[in-house]
Amino acid sequence: IDLFKPGLPGDPDTVGAIIPAPNICNGNGICEPQESCSNCPTDCNTQGDPTGFCGDGICEEALLEDCLTCPSDCAGRQNGNMGQRYCCGNGGGENPVSCFDARCTSGGFSCGSTGSVFCCGDGTCDPTEDSCICAADCGPAPPMEFACDDGVDDDCDGELDCADRDCCTDGLCVTGVDNDSDGVADCDCDDSNPGVWDSPGEVTMLTLQKGGVTATLDWASPASPGATSLNYEALRSGDPDDFVSASECLGDADPTDLTNIDPEVPALGTLYQYLIRALNDCPGTAGTGTIGSDSGNVQRPAAACP
């Protein structure tokens, strides 16, 4: 069955015959509300900071210990036959080995971590957890920075205090200077470039049309481009819930236009999902637009394209 379905902002368009059941554990490193330590330990188990020290009897890679830097804790042999030399720990010495090597836990040595393992998804917001790494226990992060002088990345976007453009109108951060004369002062993502001032918004009106064995994607520019010119990335995934580990970036001869063609055909009984992302020249992550929100109004995570 070939489907032609106008796309809603943030919703993937599909081609195929069978819609698979959602993948509960998507392996994206974030413990989401439907995941737990039992059904998704790769995303939901978190390791606390180590509390040990050299001389405590435990060889800890996280503390940069190895048989050279902390021989009292880390097993190793660095003389004699070259084939028998090894060094447990953080990677120093000749023939470095990790704690998984049986020699690192023999002869009275111990190798591992003093940091406690917490379960993200057990309903308790542990001391090493916060909304950025465990929304399931600590609640979702606020949609924007709410304190501009606390030294905390409140909204988990990688920027904190005055470096976060959520704070650009806060009295603590306002300068009133428009260095590039583009009409935007404190909230300009790059005040040295008049061609860009804000992150690109969400791409809208994504549609898909089949023609033979190819699928043609078309879309509309964001209502708020944040720049005088944009590029676009098309992401394809075989899993509607995973545009991180299961996604691929489609090649595009002209990344500035509003269309792309996918020549690949999904395998029998499967389907492809598509989302489009806008890019501009705002520095860092500010230049990467959103791919939209899911039905729960949660921002979709997505892999970066090379």
Q: How far apart are CA 142 and CA 217, in angstroms?
A: 33
Indicate if the pLDDT at residue 248 is higher than 90. Answer: yes
Helix, coil or strand: residue 162: helix
| C-alpha distances out from residue 59 to 53, 54, 75, 77, 118, Å | 9, 8, 8, 15, 21
- Name which of 44-53, 118-127, 162-171, 289-298 the model is least confident about: 44-53
Nearest to 3 by CA among 293, 272, 258: 272
Task: Express each pLDDT in 66-103 by its tens digit.
Answer: 999 999 999 999 999 999 999 999 889 999 999 989 99
Residue of 127 and 145 predicted with greater confidence: 145
> Of 264 and 134, which is predicted with more confidence?
264
Rounded to an integer, the average pLDDT of 156-160 is 83
Beta bridge partners of 118: 46
Average pLDDT, integer, range 220-247: 93
pLDDT at position 175: 87
Per-residue pLDDT of 186-211, as tens digits, reads 889 999 999 999 999 999 999 999 88
Q: How confident is the model at residue 146 (pLDDT cuts 50, 70, 90)?
A: confident
Residue 8 has pLDDT above 90, yes or no: no
Q: What pLDDT does 1 receive?
A: 29
The amino acid that residue 212 corresponds to is G
Between residues 304 and 41, which one has the greater pLDDT? 304
Residue 86's beta-bridge partner residues? 77
Contact in structure between 88 and 97 (CB atoms under 8 Å): yes
Quick one: pLDDT at residue 22?
52
Farthest-apart Cα atoms in the chain, separation:
71
DSSP state of 113: -
pLDDT digits (tens, 9 = 90+) for 277-305: 999 999 888 899 999 887 777 788 899 99
Q: What is the DSSP letter of 196?
A: B
Q: Print burial letters for 153-188: b (CB count within 10 Å at least 16), e (below 16).
A: bbbbbebbbbebbbbbebeebeeeeeebebebbbeb
156: left (phi > 0), else alpha (psi -120 to 50), else beta? left
**Range 11-14 contact pairs with CB under 8 angstroms and sequence separation of 24 or more:** 11/292, 12/237, 12/240, 12/273, 12/274, 12/275, 13/206, 13/207, 13/208, 13/217, 13/273, 13/274, 14/208, 14/240, 14/271, 14/272, 14/273
| Residue 17, pLDDT score | 38
Instruction: State mean pLDDT over 112-132.
Output: 79
Q: What is the DSSP letter of 12?
A: P
Q: If you average pLDDT over every residue of the chain, what do you get?
A: 85
Residue 14 confidence class, pLDDT cut points 50, 70, 90: very low
Query: Residue 280 and residue 288: Cα distance in Å, rounded?
Result: 7
Identify the pLDDT of residue 23: 61
pTM for this entry: 0.54
Which residue matches tokens 């069978």? Answer: 18
Q: How many angstroms separate the CA atoms of 43 and 287, rounded? A: 27
What domains sit in the chain, N to C, each tagged with a CATH number? 13-25+198-287 (2.60.40.10)
- Look-up of token digits 């490193």: 29
